[in-house]
């Protein structure tokens, strides 16, 4: 199962908004709606996997395991969508080019199927990503 290069854009979705506003960020539901990458069917064919497979999304900023889902907003081959949240922000570049605003849309990443792994829950992700590396 080969890794593919793709442009990622991130933003809001209704299911994720319901969990965020309902105070459910520590519930498993948050992971189910936000630890996701929405891909076009053409990109699933390039990877040789079915929707629902866990994938590792990575670039020079970091790497994160999320679930791959078929986009409801296609066709948009070569473009992937991730709901905003701690999972997507692992791969968002922090550089703002003196504008105060990072480039949340259009980040180039590599997506590789990792069927043996599963996305982390929010609290585990925060601990593993930010608290555990502390001295």
Partner 1 sequence: MFITENAKIVEKDGKKLVTDCTCVFDGCACDDIACEVVNNEIVTVYNACKVGTANFLPCRGAERFTTPLWRASKKEAFKPISWDEALDKAADILIKAKHPMLFGWSETSVEAIREGVRLTELVGGTIDGQVTHCHGPSVQAIQEVGYAGATLGEVKNRADLIIYWGCNPMNAHARHMSRYSTYVSGFFRRHGRQERKLVVVDPRHTDTAKLADVHIQIELGSDYEAFQTLRALIRGAAVTKEKVGGIPIAVWKQLAEDMKAASYGAIFFGLGLTHSASKKNSVAAAIGLTQDLCNITKFQIMPLRGHYNVAGLNQVLSWLTGYPYGVNFARGFPRYNIGEFTGVDMLRRKEVDAMLNIAADPGAHMPQKSVQHMAEIPLIACDIHPTPTTELANLIIPGTHDGIECEASCYRMDGIPIHLRKIVDPPEGCKPSNAHWLQELVQVVEKKLGEKHV
Residues that bind partner 1 (CB under 8 A): 7, 9, 11-14, 17-27, 29, 61-62, 71-76, 79, 81, 84-86, 89-90, 92-106, 122-123, 125-127, 129-131, 133-134
* Residue 2 or 128 with smaller CB distance to partner 1: 128
Q: Looking at beta carbons only, is 51 or 73 nearer to partner 1? A: 73
**127: phi then psi, degrees, rounded to nearest 5:** -65, -50
Residues 6+ apart with CB under 8 A from 16: 30, 33, 34, 83, 84, 85
- Structure tokens given for 11: 């933003």
- Indicate left, alpha or beta for 108 from its phi (over 0: left) and psi (-120 to 50: alpha): beta
CB of 115 to partner 1, least distance (A): 25
Nearest distance from C-beta of residue 23 to partner 1, angstroms = 3
């Amino acid at each position: 199962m080969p890794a593919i290069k793709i442009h990622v854009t991130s933003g809001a979705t209704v299911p994720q908004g319901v969990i965020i506003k309902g105070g459910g960020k520590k519930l498993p539901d948050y992971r189910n709606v936000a630890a996701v990458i929405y891909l076009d069917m053409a990109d699933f064919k390039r990877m040789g996997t079915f929707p629902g497979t866990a994938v590792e999304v990575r670039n020079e900023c970091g790497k994160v395991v999320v679930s791959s889902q078929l986009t409801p907003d296609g066709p948009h081959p070569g473009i992937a969508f991730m709901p905003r949240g701690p999972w997507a922000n692992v791969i968002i570049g922090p550089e703002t080019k003196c504008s105060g605003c990072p480039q949340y849309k259009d980040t180039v990443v590599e997506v590789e199927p990792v069927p043996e792994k599963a996305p982390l829950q929010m609290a585990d992700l925060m601990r593993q990503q930010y608290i555990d590396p502390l001295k």
